Amino acid sequence: MPVQDAHTTILGLFRVAGDGYVSGAQISRALGVSRTAVWKKIEGLRLLGYGIEAVPSKGYRLQDTPDVLLPAEVASDLGTKHIGREVVYFAETDSTNLRAHELGKAGAAEGTVVLANSQTAGKGRLGRQWCSPAGVNLYASVLVRPPVAPRYASQLTFLSAAAVARTVAGTGKLPVTVKWPNDVLIGGRKVAGLLNELDAETERIHYLVLGIGVNLNMTADQFPNDLRYPATSVLLASGHRVSRLDFTRCLLRNLDSLYGLYLARGFGPVLEAWQEYFDLTGRTVEVDYQDRRVTGVVAGLDGDGALLLKLADGTRERVLAGDVRPLE
């Protein structure tokens, strides 16, 4: 049995036992291995940071759970319908989006989630790097297979932005907003970035990878000096550390409920959820798109999520993709 599955099984037994002990014999039966092998697996969990007490004649008892994102912990009793039924974890990988693409091509189930403790080549938008130090943040890629044409793929960006904004807002009283279409900010500083990637043929999406990076417990000295935008983390904005495990589970539930709504009722409810965090309506913004820069007042969003601008000469402009900056 792969070591991750053995850990999952043991943690499952601990969960059922609550505060009580799980005997070595019970674990050995569940894993189909010797008592010596059980002891080795327990040592493996201790190395990952789990505090496990061993008492002769009683067995093992879980005393302390580290803030790691092991699949067993992330997926247990999640109660979701679509997202997080399969969770894959890497202590280190180049990019969770790349791993999710591999899984997508190999036919992985909808809702498969790839998580990493650190990324060596985290991908940002427009070919930029996403700073991904170990142990502090969330790096996740979620595979979905929505039954819609590729031209609607950008709707899923609004979906993940709304789910991330809702989850960040749930960590405390924070001024969370979304920047059209796909950054999440606290007090105007970027706390999360989304990189959605598509694998499709002309009329059909094979799969979409929703790449989500959230700065959770990152400290100021961990941010690169050459960032092109003001950034923050939940810790820096609130003064409190957040449990990566709790945050991840909450995010997967929020993604799941919005995705369920999307499948049942289309883009409307998703856009509504996103708009709860959008504060640029009525404000003057500058938008860079298609090698142009335009200035206008945000009139709202179109049904497909395009930004509607009212320009100084009274004309209207529909922007499908671009970089927006508020001017006041």
Q: Rounded distance, CA 174 to CA 237, Å? A: 8
Binding residue (CB under 6 A) for ligand BTN from 10, 22, 140, 258: 140
Q: How many CB atoms lie within 10 A of CB 181?
A: 23
Nearest to 188 by CA among 270, 295, 301, 277: 277
Nearest to 294 by CA among 311, 314, 315: 311
- Binding to ligand BTN (CB under 6 A) within 171-190 occurs at 183
Query: Nearest-CB residue to ligand BTN?
Result: 193
**What stretch of H or E contains 311?**
strand 307-311
Binding residue (CB under 6 A) for ligand BTN from 14, 130, 247, 267: 130
- Select 215 or 257, whichever has its Cβ closest to ligand BTN: 215
What are the C-alpha distances in Å from 113 to residues 96, 138, 161, 207? 9, 12, 16, 13
42-50, 75-83, 94-102, 249-257 -> range binding ligand BTN (CB under 6 A): 94-102
5-13, 16-24, 92-100, 160-168 -> range binding ligand BTN (CB under 6 A): 92-100
Q: Rounded distance, CA 237 to CA 245, Å? A: 19
16-24, 46-54, 90-98, 304-312 -> range binding ligand BTN (CB under 6 A): 90-98
- Select 13 or 195, whichever has its Cβ closest to ligand BTN: 195
Binding residue (CB under 6 A) for ligand BTN from 97, 196, 233, 248: 97
What are the C-alpha distances in Å from 56 to residues 15, 34, 156? 20, 16, 53
Binding residue (CB under 6 A) for ligand BTN from 95, 155, 167, 217: 95
Q: Rounded distance, CA 325 to CA 179, Å? A: 9
Would you count residue 248 as binding ligand BTN (CB under 6 A)? no
Burial of 125 (0-12, 13-18, 19+ CB in 10 A): middle
Would you count residue 61 as binding ligand BTN (CB under 6 A)? no
Write the binding mask 193 to 212 for ligand BTN: x where contact by CB under 6 A, - elsewhere: xxx---------------xx
Interface with ligand BTN (CB under 6 A): 95-97, 119, 122-125, 128, 130, 139-141, 183, 193-195, 211-213
